[in-house]
Amino acid sequence: MAVATGDKTWTAPSGMQDFKEKLMSAYVIANYNITNPEAYKAYPRVVGPTIFNHGGEILVADYNSEKSEAGGADVTIVLRFPSKDKAKEWYNSDEYQEIVALRTENSEGFMNFVDEFKMPG
């Protein structure tokens, strides 16, 4: 993988371990439209503690996102966790799985797990 920054290009080391050391936090990015507002409204009230109990924090919770390209949705959520493994532990936890249907059955969109990247330097 190569990343261009101005007049410099940085190429990831061949060893994945070296590359992983350049990674920091991980993020959960969700973008969706609410299809059943009445049933969905319980979700924001109960999801926070599940995130905090797994070392996560809410960075963005925008229910009126401005779309710059086709395909975007109204709701954008960005969560930060210490690692992608911690983010997945939260998502797969019994605590979150008890409430996830409040979102998935009442909205249409996606949720992704992504690693943060810091340029060397």
The string of pLDDT tens digits covering residues 69-102 is 888 899 999 999 999 999 999 999 999 999 999 9
Segment 4-30 shows an average pLDDT of 64
What domains can be seen in the chain, in order of their start residue? Answer: 24-117 (3.30.70.100)
pLDDT at 70: 81
> How many residues can be counted in the chain?
121
Segment 28-33 shows an average pLDDT of 98
pLDDT at 1: 47
Query: 81: which strand partners?
Result: 26
Q: pTM for this one?
A: 0.78
Q: How far apart are CA 62 and CA 75, in angstroms?
A: 6
CA-based nearest residue to 59, from 79, 83, 74, 44: 79
pLDDT at 68: 87
> Does residue 72 or residue 19 have the better pLDDT?
72
- pLDDT exceeds 70 at position 31: yes
Provide the token pair at 78: 């960005």
Name the DSSP letter for residue 106: S
CA-based nearest residue to 50, from 110, 101, 94, 102: 94
Provide the token pair at 42: 């319980």
pLDDT tens-place string over residues 35-67: 999 999 999 999 999 999 999 999 999 999 998
pLDDT at 119: 77
* Residue keyed to tokens 């926070």: 48
Percentage above 70 pLDDT, the chain = 80
